[in-house]
């Protein structure tokens, strides 16, 4: 059924009339708030969920939609129409195009575009890489996280590996734990970065801003990032550097946080911006300039080293002229893959 439209609610489609919970409010509850009574009467549902239902017009008091703070008189009849929450659709297949670089019976390697969230979470319950994987590879519904073993930030582009079997997932997780998976990133940063370096600083939740991570956090986990300079540019007197970064650990926002802690924030980063020069406002780029361009690992079944390489997407290529650079500064595939092979044999 459809609930009546009121100024407090938008029209919402419901199923059968019988699909509601009926409550009769005792007279002694006069003066109690609606949300408090609902929480006490329906302990199987969280307070936040019940409040969301009230605000959506899915709770009726004597046939009328009201507000969570409404004071009951006692003796009312309440109907609650339980609503499916967004997270209940989180693991639904969606026809999302995927750039599949490699696939066999055991693994899938994808080149993730910027703007694509990897795994459903609050604020992004659909439209994720996981939803796309479930559409194109339905068998992944049998695996935890649909075979996903590592992530990239929403606005970081590049290569990721996904397991297709439980054996492959176990192997890949162990390789990540043993730090034998090679992950190389291209990062464009503000500042005149040194020719090479290594950042050893724990990464954990920022105690002053829970939406950010922080380097050197006492509650953080150990983290290590290696970097080397590939090229330099100059934008209206402000230096900019192209770095190749390699992860020894994979903490949330690790490269972004580590480089900012050295005074080299990523170009375009909307969150980690300390020491970002004023000229940055003239650069037309709205995400962190970070791309996972090379990936290497031992195949979980064939037990042989496998490597993949992908140049940055078009938005980064369009950024280069603004940074007084051209695509000649980008690594060459043959050189990178040969370097990975040599390192594996050393």
Domains of the chain, with CATH numbers? 21-83 (3.10.290.10), 91-178 (3.30.2350.10), 179-340 (3.30.2350.10)
Alpha carbon distance, N-terminus to C-terminus of the chain? 69
Question: Is-contact 314 327, C-beta < 8 A?
Answer: no
Question: Is-contact 338 308, C-beta < 8 A?
Answer: no
Question: Could you say which of 44, 62, 153, 269 is catalytic?
Answer: 153
Question: What's the pLDDT at 114?
Answer: 97
Question: What's the pLDDT at 18?
Answer: 41
Question: What's the pLDDT at 79?
Answer: 87
Length of the chain: 346
Can you list the residues of the chain whose pLDDT is less than 50?
1-18
Question: What's the pLDDT at 26?
Answer: 93
Question: Is-contact 112 160, C-beta < 8 A?
Answer: yes
For residue 153, indicate whether it is catalytic: yes
DSSP 2-26: BPPPBTTB---B---TT-SEEEE--
Q: Centre a 10 Å sphere on the Cβ of residue 46 and count the other Cβ atoms it contains.
A: 12
Question: What's the pLDDT at 58?
Answer: 83
Question: What's the pLDDT at 346?
Answer: 65
326 dihedral zone (left: phi>0; alpha: psi -120 to 50; beta): beta
Question: What's the pLDDT at 271?
Answer: 94
pLDDT in tens, 220-239: 899 999 999 999 999 999 99
């Amino acid at each position: 059924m459809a609930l009546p439209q009121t100024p407090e609610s938008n029209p919402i489609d419901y199923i059968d009339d019988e699909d509601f919970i009926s409550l009769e409010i005792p007279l002694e509850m006069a003066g109690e708030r609606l949300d408090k009574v609902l929480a006490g009467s329906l302990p199987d549902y969280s307070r936040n969920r019940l409040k969301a239902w009230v605000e959506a017009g899915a709770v009726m008091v004597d046939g009328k939609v009201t507000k969570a703070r409404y004071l009951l008189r006692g003796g009312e009849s309440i109907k609650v129409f339980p609503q499916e929450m967004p997270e209940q659709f989180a693991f639904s297949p969606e026809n999302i195009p995927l750039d599949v670089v490699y696939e066999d019976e055991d693994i899938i390697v994808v080149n993730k575009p910027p703007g694509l969230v990897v795994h459903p979470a609050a604020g992004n319950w659909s439209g994720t890489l996981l939803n796309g994987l479930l559409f194109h590879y339905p068998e992944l519904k049998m695996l935890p996280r649909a075979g996903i073993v590592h992530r990239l930030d929403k606005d970081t582009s590049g290569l990721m590996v996904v397991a297709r079997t439980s054996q492959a997932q176990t192997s890949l997780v162990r390789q990540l734990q043993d730090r034998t998976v090679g992950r190389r990133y291209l990062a464009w940063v503000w500042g005149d970065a040194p020719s090479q370096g290594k950042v050893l600083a724990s990464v954990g939740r920022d105690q002053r801003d829970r939406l950010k991570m922080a380097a050197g956090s006492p509650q953080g986990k150990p983290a290590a990032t290696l970097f080397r300079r590939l090229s330099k540019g100059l934008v209206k007197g402000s230096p900019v550097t192209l770095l190749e970064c390699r992860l020894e650990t994979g903490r949330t926002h690790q490269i972004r946080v580590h480089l900012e802690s050295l005074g080299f924030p990523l170009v375009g980063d909307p969150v980690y911006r300390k020491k970002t020069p004023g000229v940055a406002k003239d650069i037309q780029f709205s995400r962190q300039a970070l791309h996972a361009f090379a990936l290497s690992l031992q195949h979980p079944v064939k037990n042989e080293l496998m490597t993949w390489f992908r140049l940055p997407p078009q938005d980064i290529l369009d950024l280069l002229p603004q940074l007084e650079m051209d695509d000649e500064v980008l690594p060459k595939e043959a050189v990178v893959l040969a370097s990975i092979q040599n390192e594996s044999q050393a």
